[in-house]
Amino acid sequence: MIYWVFVVPVLFWIISGLRVIQEYESGVIFRLGRFAEVKRAGLNWIVPGVDRMVKVDLRTVTRDVPPQDVITHDNVSLKVSAVIYFRVIDAEKAIIQVENFLYATSQLSQTTLRSTLGKLDLDDLLAQREKINKELQQVLDLHTEPWGIKVTAVEVKAIDLPPEMQRAMARQAEAERERRAKVIAAEGEYQAAEKLGMAADVIQAHPSALQLRYLQTLVEISAEKASTTIFPVPIDLLTPFIKLAQGAADQQQLPPQRVPIGVTRE
């Protein structure tokens, strides 16, 4: 009976010191207030009443950066939001070097977002998104390294422009599209003129090609459902008929030949 009086409390004391750490966690052990060690995943035992364990999640954490008021280098005011991905790589530093590494990383990302984007012009901010994301990641990773935090990625999520700036950009985009349309139309006219010039040279070298082209046009027009078709006939087609008509007219206009008296025409 006396044996159980000592065994039961000891068993209870041993069982109370058992701790289960998940695969994605680490346990930072403090012994009488001082750092002792870092426990890994599995079943671990600490000294009850002497040791204290703080569990740290080692998985990648996703945090939204709230919309920040940013004034760009060319004095354009806008709101920018982002998302940050980071994880703990050193559980000891994450607990000892900073009070709350989640809050500290979130606040640091907000200030870094404002300071980094404030150095850029609006056009660079809209066009160089990938470069900006990489620069933000490098700056944040440099500042969070003493805390045992690894910033894996930063993505600018949304850029909210003022309404007047949106209208100005819309007008600029419309003017750019009109300019491109006019340039394309001019290039098309130029190429068409070149092709027409080449076709004219071929027709000039072969006059019969013009007649064939007219006949082909007649075939194309006859396929259309039109009641009346007015088609100019090339003068070359009528030249033989005109010459015949002129010859007949000349014969009619010649005066009759007089025959002298006493001369008989055989």
Give the model confidence (pLDDT) of 74-116 as tens digits: 888 888 899 999 999 999 999 999 989 999 999 999 999 988 8
Bridge partners of 154, per DSSP, are: 84
Contacts of 161 (CB under 8 A, 6+ apart): 76, 78, 169
* Burial (Cβ within 10 Å: 0-12, 13-18, ≥19) of residue 21: middle
**Residue holding tokens 């009528």?**
238
CA atoms within 13 A on the CB side of 44: 23
- Each residue's pLDDT tens digit, 14-59: 888 888 989 989 999 999 889 989 999 888 888 888 889 999 999 9
CA atoms within 13 A on the CB side of 197: 6
- Each residue's pLDDT tens digit, 124-146: 888 888 888 999 999 999 999 99
Whole-angstrom distance, CA of residue 112 vs CA of residue 143: 10
Rounded to 5 degrees, φ, ψ at 85 are -120, 125
Q: What percent of the chain has pLDDT over 90?
A: 26
- Would you say the pTM of this structure is higher than 0.75? no
Amino acid at 54: V
| Cβ neighbours, 10 Å, residue 84 | 25
**How much is the pLDDT for 265?**
44
- Higher-confidence residue: 255 or 43? 43
| Statement: residue 220 has pLDDT above 80 | no
**Does the CA dihedral 13-16-20-26 come out positive or negative?**
negative
